[in-house]
Amino acid sequence: MSPEESVKFLALFLFMGGTFWVVAPFFRALARRLEGKTSDLQAVEQVRDDLLGEVDGLRQEVAQLSERLEFTERMIAKQQDPSRVGPGAR
């Protein structure tokens, strides 16, 4: 083998090794996705969906509490002495 062929072979060997080193993580990730394992993105989306569900539940509870508070305020206003309610009452 001549020196030129040796250099070409070495260059080809290094190029193939470098290509494998760069492309291997991509193929591993592709294989994990094809196997059906959850990715980090899917886990984050699941947590986000759970949090959004919790926020919706809290919104409903706050709306119910607001309605109860308004009802209580109306009931208290009805029970107050009518002579004390209005302008100039003390």
> Over the chain, what HEC string results?
CCHHHHHHHHHHHHHHHHHHHHHHHHHHHHHHHHHCCCCHHHHHHHHHHHHHHHHHHHHHHHHHHHHHHHHHHHHHHHHCCCCCCCCCCC
Any idea which of 12-16, 43-47, 81-85 has the lowest mean pLDDT? 81-85
Domain ranges in the chain are 1-37, 38-79
Q: What is the pLDDT of residue 37?
A: 62
Q: What is the pLDDT of residue 13?
A: 80
Q: How far apart are CA 3 and CA 5, in angstroms?
A: 5
pLDDT, one tens digit per residue, over 44-74 is 888 889 999 999 999 999 999 999 999 998 9
pLDDT, one tens digit per residue, over 16-51 is 888 877 778 877 877 777 777 666 777 788 888 999
